[in-house]
Amino acid sequence: MIGTLAALVFAGLAALLHVYIFVLESVRWTKPATWRVFGIADQQTADATKPMAYNQGFYNLFLAIGAAIGIVLWIVHGTSDVAGRTLLIFSLGSMVAAALVLVTSGRKYLRPASIQGTLPLIGLVLTILA
């Protein structure tokens, strides 16, 4: 029971983090405070990369929605729910995979990748073990 609760909490935190990333990338991308977080040098670059960030933000939102639906299914149907656990494993695994891909972009992305990937990794391991 405690393992299931921990898995759901970490999966929920991972989903919330990815909703926040969606907001940054798809809603607030051209705001100076946001583009500085992502290492964008100036407003012109932020404007030029806005379509890419907008698209990428929605990927993060869709992964968060998948995790949220998995959580709801698992809560409603219990630990024997195959659909909820499968959706959680897929969504959290995709979040972890995206963080790993980010690391391959260069050493300067190690910190953001660890921020993006730690909660889903913990949630994924706990989901598998629960």
DSSP track, 50-110: HHHHHHHHHHHHHHHHHHHHHHHHHHHH-TT-HHHHHHHHHHHHHHHHHHHHHHTT-GGGH
* pLDDT of 50 strictly over 70: yes
- Total domains in the fold of the chain: 1
Q: Count CA within 13 A, CB hemisphere, residue 19.
A: 11
Name the maximum alpha-carbon separation found in the chain.
51
* pLDDT of 3 strictly over 90: no
User: What pTM does this model have?
Assistant: 0.92
The answer to whether 68 and 26 have CB atoms below 8 angstroms apart is no
Query: By residue range, what is the domain housing residue 81?
Result: 2-129
> Which has more pLDDT, 102 or 81?
102
The whole-chain average pLDDT of the chain stands at 94
pLDDT confidence tier of residue 80, bands split at 50, 70 and 90: confident
